[in-house]
Amino acid sequence: MKFTDGFWMRRPGVTAHYGQEAYDVWADGPTLTAYAPTKRIAGRGDTLNLPMLTVTLSSPLEGVVRVRIDHHQGAVPATGFALPGAVEGSGTADADEAGGTLTSGPLTARVTKGGPWRLDFEVDGVRVTGSGHKSIGYIELGKESTVTAEPAGLVGYSPDGMAPARTYVHEQLDLDVAETIYGLGERFGAFVKNGQSVDMWNADGGTSSEQAYKNIPFYLSSKGYGVFVNHPQHVSFEVGTETVERVQFSTAGESLEYFVIAGPTPADVVRRYTELTGRPPRVPAWSFGLWLTTSFTTEYDEATVTSFVDGMAERDIPLSVFHYDCFWMREFNWTDGVWDERVFPDPDLMLKRMHEDKGLHVSAWINPYIAQRGRMFREGVEGGYLVKRPDGSVWQWDQWQAGMGLVDFTNPQAKAWFQGFVRTLVRQGVDAIKTDFGERIPTDVVWHDGTDPMTMHNLYTQLYNEAVHEVLVQEKGAGEAVLFARSATAGGQTMPVHWGGDNSSSFVSMAESLRGGLSLLSSGFGYWSHDIGGFEGTPDAAVFKRWLAFGLMSSHSRLHGSSSYRVPWAFDDEAVDVTRIFTKLKLSLMPYLYRTSAQTAQTGLPMMRPMFMAFPGDPATQHLDRQYMLGDDLLVAPVFTENGDVTLYLPEGTWTSLLTGAKVEGGRWLKENHGFESLPLYVREGAVIPRGTRTDRPDYDFLSDVELHVYPGGAAERTVLLESTTGETDTVRVTVGDGVATAVSTSGRAYTAKLV
């Protein structure tokens, strides 16, 4: 949100109080405190009748500095995000006549005493950003204010569009020449956020709008630092738009808390951020296979489902998961947890057949909105489990489901009640849960635990997904729990997998889906999926086939649509071939992908990595949003054209096409043309890619059914770590010499190593 009118003026009705100087700086153990009056103090009289901002610095983790800006500290404290990795007192504070420093690992925050206000952040002694004159501000809005803080998709704000609060706190951090900003959640517009105004407000807006299902108040800089704003409520970011030389972030109230996170590389920042807010856990190998769904509003019953599953088998397309979307329940009843007996007369037997006869895992759709006609609504009202209005009535509306209410997950009894429904579903034979929605959360309500409704709007999805994920972990075990979630906030990466939401069936939407995924994966999330072929409408055969290659070279791969089926034979015979080719290709890469997922769980690095994150020293990668690295060694460039033309950039080194074996020198742009059965898929110089010898399923023995493909370049000796689905590992040393590759493992197993 913007408070100024150009560089010199403020908008009507805006009174701004900026911290003008560090008048006093105090070190107290691991804490540094600076007092910033909102005018320069020349004499004792200047200390009267003015606001002062208290800036407190501490460190919750090595390499991370917390900055808290307070106006009135007696205000009701704002709710922050859970920080499971916090180790308070990780920094060392010092103060002298010149000012003060707080040092934590490679990161130093330096406050200069006197004016103008100056707070610098240095990584390994090099300044990466800072807060300067008119950066920290306390803003008051009068009745005549023209400032609006109404994010798109907001429910419960005043109808006149006025800002709902009268006071705000903001910070501005410097942007350097050629510095680019990424992240802030899954956003489908321009990948680089410079020049954008971004509101943290979860909304159900589809992929072709500025709204986002997953708003994460964390951004990542190409200079190798990150910033995390610790407020679940609405936070507004102005990335070079309020002041073009700075990133501004603001929130309503009397305080603002943010963290600066050190690199020195973007990958290092992600490691620290996910250590603080939670790492993505392991997910089972079967989840990486191909998922097929009923689609949304299509007609289907058990016979339809069986025909889809059998049709895939008949066409030699390995299927791993079948998903039942909304209409497994009766219309007007979502969510009530009751299978529609008209189309699924014996769900227990059907699920047993899917597991035992078809060899599949099963996913089912749910949401936290409880339709008035369903049995769970009556239970929810009687138990007091649904969100209420201030007058004590149940909050209801008719959008989505007639008379629907909303589960109040701040009520422990309501959470247990909802979990009971999920537990029944899992014990019935459902392996994964699609937790849809969670964005349309009203603010004109009262929550059981008294949480501020503005805070709960974004935070709701965390409580919703936690409730379901807990059941899956309890019933399936750690490493076996799989959500398929649409909405998220900071910390949501601890409950994978997330998918991109409602896209359209076009090349343009395919590209915007990838931008959204790369943006989310720059925000601490480790896994990501999207609806292959697009959700809205029906793709033509070319879009579907190009999207298949992209989708099956993503961490998770799902065929899903709205009003039309996504079985490949509904398009053309070639679509069947393309589905088979890329499904089997992905399954052959499972030893590599499974080990990459272990790296994601250990470090927080995403499986699909934006190019700027993988190659931080190469300025040509800063704006790339149509290609990515899949793990350390595979470069994927989806084709977004029907005729197969594609432009991509290869960083320095010798790259080898995984599909053809062709060698290409990098450090340059390439223009290629690919048929539907191909795409640019390059292996990095010196890589050893473990390839499976099986292509029928994703969860085979990665220590036995494997051979090592050794690519040119790199050291004569290389090491690769293999891991089985049982957790057993094996370290293999690969030696290359005289045109031969040999492999020796610590376990004594014999492995075939092939030079490519």
Give tens-digit pLDDT for 443-498: 999 999 999 999 999 999 999 999 999 999 999 999 999 999 999 999 999 999 99
Long-range contacts of 414-421 (CB under 8 A, 24+ apart): 414/380, 414/383, 414/384, 414/385, 414/386, 414/448, 415/463, 415/467, 417/379, 417/380, 417/383, 417/385, 418/368, 418/385, 418/467, 419/467, 419/468, 419/470, 419/471, 421/335, 421/337, 421/376
3-state SS assignment for residue 415: helix
Name residue, tokens 């709701």: 460
Sheet of 557-559, strand order? 432-435, 361-366, 321-324, 290-293, 557-559, 531-532
CA distance 190 to 203: 18
Q: Are 130 and 119 in contact (CB under 8 A)?
A: yes
Residue with tokens 């076996």: 480
pLDDT given at position 155: 47
pLDDT at position 158: 37
- Predicted confidence band of residue 150 (pLDDT cuts 50, 70, 90): low
High-pLDDT (> 90) share of the chain, %: 95
- Any residues with CB less than 8 A from the CB of 454 and at least 6 apart, and which? 164, 233, 234, 252, 443
Closest by CA to 579, choosing from 532, 534, 510, is: 532
Amino acid occupying residue 679: L
pLDDT value at 138 more than 50? yes
Q: Which of 65-69, 205-209, 634-638 has the lowest mean pLDDT?
A: 205-209
* Region label for 147, one of left (φ > 0), alpha (ψ between -120 and 50) or beta (otherwise): beta
Q: Is 79 exposed, middle or buried (0-12, 13-18, 19+ CB in 10 A)?
A: middle
**Per-residue pLDDT at 740:** 94
Q: Which of 517, 524, 462, 464 is nearest to 493 (CA)?
A: 524
Task: Classify burial at 250, counting beta carbons within 10 Å of its beta carbon; exposed 0-12, middle 13-18, buried 19 or more.
Answer: buried
Of 162, 167, 195, 149, nearest to 2 (Cα)? 149
**Per-residue pLDDT at 143:** 77
- Single-letter amino acid, residue 442: P
Global pTM exceeds 0.85: yes
Q: Mark whether 340 is an active-site residue.
A: no
Q: What mean pLDDT do residues 212-226 have?
A: 98
Contact 100, 94 (CB under 8 A): yes
Residue 157 has pLDDT above 80, yes or no: no
DSSP string, 494-517: GS--BB----BSSHHHHHHHHHHH
The answer, yes or no, to whether residue 188 has pLDDT greater than 60, is yes
The answer to whether 708 and 734 are in contact (CB under 8 A) is yes
Percent of the chain scoring above 70 in pLDDT: 98
The tens digit of pLDDT for each residue in 63-72 reads 999 999 999 9
Q: DSSP E strands: which ranges in 693-739? A: 706-710, 717-723, 729-737
Token look-up 């300067």 returns: 132
Tell me what the pLDDT averaged over the chain comes to.
96
Name, in order, each residue with C-beta under 8 angstroms of 522's C-beta and a sequence gap of 6 or more: 182, 183, 220, 266, 270, 610, 613
Residue 485 sits at the vertex; the CA angle it makes with 278 and 321, to the nearest 5 degrees, is 115
Rounded CA separation 179/251 (Å): 24
Which SS3 state, helix, strand or coil, does residue 220 take?
strand
d(CA 550, CA 627): 10
DSSP 363-411: EEEE-SEE-TTSHHHHHHHHHT-B-B-TTSSBP-B-SSSTTBEEB-TTS
> Minimal CA–CA distance to 706: which of 730, 676, 673, 682?
730
Rounded to whole angstroms, the Cα distance separating 330 from 599 reads 42
pLDDT at res. 524: 98
Catalytic residue among 70, 186, 199, 436: 436
Angle, helices 541-552 vs 507-521, to 10°: value is 20
Given 439, 625, 685, 699, the catalytic residue: 439
Say whether pLDDT at 660 is over 80. Answer: yes
Query: What pLDDT score was predicted for residue 75?
Result: 86
SS3 613: helix
Which of helix, strand or coil describes residue 5? strand
Exactly one of 502, 685, 723, 730 is catalytic; name it.
502
CA distance 325 to 107: 48
404, β-bridge pairs: 397
Tokens found for residue 404: 């629907």
pLDDT tens per residue, range 343-369: 999 999 999 999 999 999 999 999 999
Backbone angles phi, psi at 22, to 5 degrees: -90, 95
Residue 145 pLDDT exceeds 50: yes
Rounded distance between C-alpha atoms, residue 373 and residue 305, angstroms: 27
Structure confidence at residue 227 (pLDDT): 99
Dihedral-angle region of residue 388 (phi above 0 means left; psi in -120 to 50 means alpha; beta otherwise): beta
Q: Which residues contact 310 (CB under 8 A, 6 or more apart)?
A: none
- Distance of alpha carbon 132 from its chain centroid, rounded? 31
Residue-level pLDDT at 77:
84
164: confidence class by pLDDT, cuts 50, 70, 90 = low
Instruction: State pLDDT tens for residues 251-277.
Output: 999 999 999 999 999 999 999 999 999
| CB of 317 closer than 8 Å to CB of 576 | yes
Short-list 233, 285, 669, CA closest to 455:
233
Whether 502 is catalytic is: yes
State the pLDDT at residue 160. Answer: 37
Mean pLDDT throughout 602-631? 98
Residue 729 has pLDDT above 90, yes or no: yes
> Nearest to residue 250, comparing CAs of 138, 377, 403, 366?
138
For 512-577, give the secondary structure using H, E and C.
HHHHHHHHHHCCCCCCCECEECCCECCCCHHHHHHHHHHHHCCCCEEECCCCCCCCHHHCCHHHHH
Confidence check: pLDDT of 550 > 60: yes
* Among 680, 620, 682, 617, residue whose Cα is nearest residue 655: 682
Query: Is 50 exceeded by the pLDDT of residue 226?
Result: yes
